[in-house]
Amino acid sequence: MKIKVSEKGNKVIIKGAGGFNLRHTLDCGQVFRFTETPAGSFIVVAGSRVIELCQRGDEIVIENSSIDEFYNVWENYFDLRRDYKKIQALVNKDDIINTASRYGDGIRILAQEPFECLISFIISQRNAIPNIKRVIERICEKYGEVIGEYKGKIYHAFPTPEQLNRAKIEDLNALKCGYRSEYIINAANRVHSGEADLAKLYSMDSAGQKSTLMEFRGVGQKIAECVMLFAYSNFDVFPPDTWIIKAMNDFYNVPQNNIDEFSASYFGGYRGLAQQYLFFYRRNFKENGE
């Protein structure tokens, strides 16, 4: 995808972004700190930054940003350097995934901060997306630093391991974290103390990443693989969440315990993108009976 980037005031204008669908990318279950405005734009909070994005065709406008910030942060965050059309062609093995990839065309895998991604998906266990978003915001408001005000609202950064390490179970219970409170505190403590070094995972292979992440209390295969995909851009995973289990059973007659083996042999090393297409298609299009 060849894009042209320019700056006007406090806005960045991206032209030629036809291979990037903002709504599909944000609404495919990989990220939780965003809200849609009545005008159809999206306010996204990542790290210590707040931006508002609006897409019209192949043009995207990013408000509250600069061209330097785009190249230093957002180009990588939205994975705009990667050729997704090439990957899409590699995973389109049959009519089912071809239909799903057309339905979810423009999905890109975000490069999220690992600690935030880990805690977010710990919170996601047996949880609906609206509630996940509310819990994350409560945690940010209580423990995260104030980023600043944007359009009349105060925004907070996601807390650092040091900040979240100060939390007590009763505090997190009050924020409606439920049984996940213990897992959150364990993760914050292990990262803050240096017992776990999330930065080292960038240089590990898939087996090393997965085994390291599953050492965190409450982290199983699904959460580990979500973090591998959405924080470390490791496309060679296929997180088996509820919708994927349904999709693989409905579309490929593959039972849950065979999903990992089947997806690796069938979709190959970029199966993570196939997972996102199938997740998005099964949850939205097929669930609505269309």
pLDDT band at 77 (very low <50, low <70, confident <90, very high): very high
Among 133, 222, 246, 286, the active-site one is: 222
Under the banding of pLDDT at 50, 70 and 90, the label for residue 2 is confident
Q: Residues 28-34: what's their mean pLDDT? A: 96
Q: Using 50, 70 and 90 to split pLDDT, how confident is the model at 288?
A: low
Is 222 labeled as catalytic in the residue annotation?
A: yes
> Treating both helix axes as pointing N-terminal to C-terminal, what angle do 242-252 and 259-267 enclose, rounded to 10 degrees?
70
Indicate if the pLDDT at residue 287 is higher than 60: no
Which contacts (CB < 8 Å, 24+ apart) does range 159-165 have?
A: 160/115, 161/115, 161/188, 161/191, 161/192, 162/192, 164/119, 164/139, 164/188, 164/192, 165/189, 165/192
At residue 197, the pLDDT reads 98
The structure's pTM equals 0.95
For each of the domains in the chain, give its residue range(s) and CATH number, in order of start: 4-81 (3.30.310.260), 90-104+235-290 (1.10.1670), 114-230 (1.10.340.30)
Does 286 have pLDDT greater than 60? no
Q: How confident is the model at residue 10 (pLDDT cuts 50, 70, 90)?
A: very high
